[in-house]
Chains A and B, each alone.
Chain A
Amino acid sequence: MQCIQFEQMIEHEADGPLSSSATLHLDTCASCRRLWSDISAIRIAGQEWGTEEIAPPAGLWTRLQAQMESEGLIVSRAHPNQLAAQNRLAAQNWFGSNNWFAEWFNSAPRLGLAAASLSLVIVAATLGFSNWSLISNISNPSAPPQNSTNETASAFSTDLPAGLNARLDVDLKRVMASIPAQEPLVASSLQKNLAIVDNIISLCEKSVREQPNNPAARDYLYGAYKQKADLLATAMDRSSTLEDQ
């Protein structure tokens, strides 16, 4: 089995057990071994975090997918090379070009939508901080496990997805712009509450920087980001409802 076949296999059967030929390939290919290790770790993390209250609302991904497709960031069916390029672009847009997830995403360009949907879980999970050492290990598989609080805290400044807040802002702006002018109360309420959440995020980030070892500070920051994600989900929901009307 070649690397490309291995990637195709996990693209289609990411949740299934490895075939014997894939296992043999992993024995001889360090790159694919790393990739498989990353996917396994993320899947486990996603399952753990999926049990918490971070599930996106029904239909969120469908709308997000449609939006990304309309922007040309992803396509449902395309030539593999085209898809790979678009996935790379999508990854860079969503996570910035200089962070661990974008690198991981670029290393597995054919994972396509499956990986992109997983990214939603990862975003929430990354903000959860509850298993920070795992996230850090994914970013650098060769690094030793981080057990101490100091090491965990130091990860904050380096591994928080760069520009995530900015990306949320871009999406929120786009969604809010799509709310019709006939609904000024909805738009103004969303804007007002977005400003409140942004202010809280700013205070919580400051708090985490001041007290990087304090889990409560990270909990509050996580909660604030979750509220912003909920706000985005509500805005998307209202936007689509109004469009339907």
Chain B
Amino acid sequence: MNVRNIRLAGMSTGIPIAAVLLLASLASAQTRRVERHFTVDGNPVVTVQNSTGRIQVRAWDKHEVMISAQASAGNPDFASEQAGNRIEIVTRPMATRPGAEPVKTEYEITVPADTQLQVRTDSGNVTVDSVHGDMSFDTVAGDLALQDVDGYMMIKSIGGSLVCTRCSGRLDATSISGNFQLVQPVMDNVRVQTSSGNILFDGGFQASGIYVLKNYSGTIEVRFSKDDSFDVSATSFYGNVVNQAPITPDKHKMRTPQYNTGMAKSLFGSIGDGRAKVELSSFSGTIKILKRD
């Protein structure tokens, strides 16, 4: 057998092997969606732990929690457990070859509207739509998008951002580098802190509401309308305060913080009757109080 024949023989046995390998890899690449259903009565508490991969939660009008899971490779491997109205979902880590992409598990979870949520993720993004229960989120790099939610929202993130659209209730959120955007909020208690991120509050201030927005750098932007009524305290230690509001001297004679030393730029006063209380503070960022279009 000459060299050419050896090569041909090698190819003839190699082709079926390659085909088998190809089929095997295609089979492993196929992913299957797994659904689980849990009947509940009353307001359920749903806890989700998923390291990577998106989590989508939306409300429906059934007394049932439906979990639909899909992994980026193979079958999703997760544990789900029901104890009364408490449902816990935990993704099991899947072993991967060194250097290979980690397997992500994505969830679509449908819950009754009055569900309490507890979500913990490292890098998976989370979206919640139309859920009206208290919720807490713990992320490292995952971003959050909340829409039409209502309740007490607690958010702790390292680098994740938040976009909250038409959110109601109360918000307590911290991040180091994440941005916070509150669009059309109807919230009466907002405490938001980020280190290097931007903060946008574009919505009405509720009477008796308290709004505390703080960062170290970045921009804090608050948009007001002519009907808004709030006392405002805005201080940037090394940055600037830009104001378009018709601020009058504080009607409630609040004590002025002694931040006016050094280079700090401050603004204190009332807009309207000063019904809500707005505290804006930044270390070196810019604070903007702007008219809403």
Contacts and interface: CB of A to CB of B under 8 A. Distances in A.
B262 A214 contact: yes
Given A200-B195, A216-B237, A190 B158 contact: yes
B158 A220 contact: no
Contact of B177 (A192, A224, A230): A192
Interface stretch (A28-36, A114-122, A203-211): A203-211
Nearest to B257: A216
- Interface size of B as a range: 20 to 34
A189 B159 contact: yes
A84 to B, nearest CB: 39
A185 B257 CA distance: 41
Contacts of B96: 182
Nearest to B99: A181
B195 A197 contact: yes
B153 to A, nearest CB: 17
Contacts of A214: 259, 261-262
B161 to A, nearest CB: 12
B237 A217 contact: yes
Contacts of B238: 207
A213 interface: yes
B266 to A, nearest CB: 10
A200 B122 contact: no
B259 A186 contact: no
B216 interface: yes
Contacts of A193: 158-159, 176-177, 195
B102 A189 contact: no
A150 interface: no
A245 B283 CA distance: 40
Contacts of A52: none
Contact of B283 (A204, A210, A234): A204
A176 B214 CA distance: 28
Contacts of A43: none
Contacts of B259: 214, 216
B216 A185 contact: no
Contacts of B258: 215-216
Given A204-B283, A215-B258, A216-B257, A245 B93 contact: yes
B158 A203 contact: no
Contact of B237 (A190, A220, A224, A245): A220
A185 B123 contact: yes
A192 B283 contact: no
13 contacts: A182-B96, A185-B122, A189-B140, A189-B159, A192-B177, A193-B159, A196-B176, A200-B217, A216-B258, A220-B237, A223-B193, A227-B195, A245-B93
